[in-house]
């Protein structure tokens, strides 16, 4: 039985990974995060919770020496793009230094490091990108994620990087929303919403991203893999498809360009990923965006939201 340590397990992706792996007899799952577990109580038999602050080098080493994981799936990061722009010290610590500590720990335990990265390492001038695209981030978040990739690439450990795009899904504690939930709620309340039509992404269902990470682990794969959705859409497209699915009033959705929003961090306009490598080498097969809305719809009903 292989041991897998998941960082950031309270987050959306972390929760989906624990949910998919907790009943798998091939893996002993160690879910970790800052503070107490926020995972559903009825999952508790399938994993062990460990408190781990990845920005604490000493604690990182203690946990690795205790668990000695075969795999690390590192999902913990500072991902609010505007917060990263305005609090660069915290962003450096979470997104760069923590990766340095984890690499050092993986060196001592022979752990295969699977690292989550982002389309925001690219400028957005010529997306969608394959794995060989030339990084050129336009905001601080993207720059820190690129630096973390470079730390891994320069290391002597076994590593894989899973790059992803605009992850959406439903988490147990609902600490963060997503475009589908926001559009559904706003239109149900009769609110007019402004949605940009000049940014392009390949939105990724959280369950699909978790599956992609697990495929990397199961195959012991190394290198860079684009793990995203397959539909190349604008947020306006996504909003219209959400309204269509739930039978809501599309006339409340106003098409705008991103220049009307004043945000601390620039957003790349046209990213999105080409996922042929993950499809051919890993057997990765993501859902369509419309199917993703359907999956969320069922989860929303179960959660009684």
Residue 32 per-residue DSSP state: E
Q: State residue 305's pLDDT score.
A: 66
CA distance 101 to 23: 30
Q: What is the dihedral of CA 151, 155, 157, 162, to 10 degrees?
A: 30
Element (H, E) at 245: helix 235-246
Q: State residue 21's pLDDT score.
A: 98
CA distance 305 to 299: 9
Q: Which residue in this structure is represented by tokens 């939201």?
A: 305
Do the beta carbons of residue 165 and residue 273 sit within 8 Å? yes
Mean pLDDT is lowest, of 47-51, 123-127, 168-172, for 168-172
Mean pLDDT of 34-45: 90
Going 71 to 148 to 99 to 106, the CA torsion angle's sign is: positive
Domain chopping of the chain, boundaries: 2-170+204-228+272-287
Q: Is pLDDT of 304 > 80?
A: no
Please state which CATH class domain 2-170+204-228+272-287 belongs to.
alpha beta
Q: Label residue 175 by pLDDT band (50, 70, 90).
A: low
Report DSSP letters for 41-64, one per residue. GGGGGG-EEEE--TT-HHHHHHHH
Mean pLDDT of 139-143: 98
Helix, strand, or coil (residue 114): strand
| pLDDT tens-digit series, residues 56-102 | 999 999 999 999 999 999 999 999 999 999 999 999 999 999 999 99
Mean pLDDT of 164-170: 96
Helix, strand, or coil (residue 290): helix
Mean pLDDT of 116-136: 98
% of the chain beyond a pLDDT of 90? 94
CA distance 278 to 226: 6
Q: How much is the pTM?
A: 0.97
Decide which of 191 and 172 is more confident: 191
Q: Which residue in this structure is represented by tokens 């990470």?
A: 213
Q: Which two tokens stand for residue 31?
A: 């879910």
Mean pLDDT of 93-115: 98
Beta strands 193-196 and 204-205, pairing class: unpaired
Q: Compute the mean pLDDT over every residue in the chain, rounded to the nearest whole number.
A: 96
Compute the C-alpha angle 226/117/71, nearest 5°.
90
% of the chain beyond a pLDDT of 70? 99
Within 13 Å and on the Cβ side, how many CA atoms surround 200? 16
Q: State residue 172's pLDDT score.
A: 84
Q: Is pLDDT of 132 > 80?
A: yes
Mean pLDDT of 165-171: 95
């Amino acid at each position: 039985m292989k041991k897998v340590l998941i960082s950031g397990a309270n987050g959306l992706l972390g929760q989906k990974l624990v949910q998919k792996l907790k009943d798998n007899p091939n893996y002993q799952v160690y879910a970790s995060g800052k503070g107490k577990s926020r995972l559903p109580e009825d999952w508790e038999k399938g994993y062990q919770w460990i408190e781990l602050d990845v920005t604490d080098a000493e604690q990182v080493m203690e946990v690795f020496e205790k668990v000695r994981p075969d795999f690390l799936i590192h999902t913990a990061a500072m991902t609010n793009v505007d917060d990263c722009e305005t609090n660069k010290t915290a962003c450096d610590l979470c997104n760069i230094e923590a990766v340095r500590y984890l690499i050092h720990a993986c060196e001592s335990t022979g752990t295969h490091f699977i690292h989550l990265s982002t389309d925001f390492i690219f400028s957005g001038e010529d997306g969608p990108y394959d794995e060989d695209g030339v990084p050129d981030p336009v905001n601080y978040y993207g720059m820190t994620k690129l630096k973390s990739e470079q730390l891994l690439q320069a290391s002597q450990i076994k590593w894989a990087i899973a790059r992803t795009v605009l992850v959406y899904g439903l988490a147990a504690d609902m600490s963060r929303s997503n475009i589908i939930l926001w559009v559904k709620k706003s239109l149900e309340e009769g609110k007019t919403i402004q949605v940009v039509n000049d940014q392009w992404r390949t939105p990724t269902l959280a369950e699909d991203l978790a599956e992609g990470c697990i495929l990397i682990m199961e195959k012991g794969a190394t290198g860079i893999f684009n793990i995203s959705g397959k539909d190349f859409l604008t947020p306006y497209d996504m909003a219209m498809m959400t309204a269509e699915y739930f039978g809501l009033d599309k006339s409340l959705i106003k098409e705008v360009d991103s220049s009307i929003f004043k945000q601390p961090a620039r957003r790349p306009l046209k990213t999105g990923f080409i996922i042929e490598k993950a499809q051919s080498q890993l057997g990765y097969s993501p859902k369509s965006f419309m199917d993703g809305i359907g999956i969320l719809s069922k989860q929303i009903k179960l959660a009684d939201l």
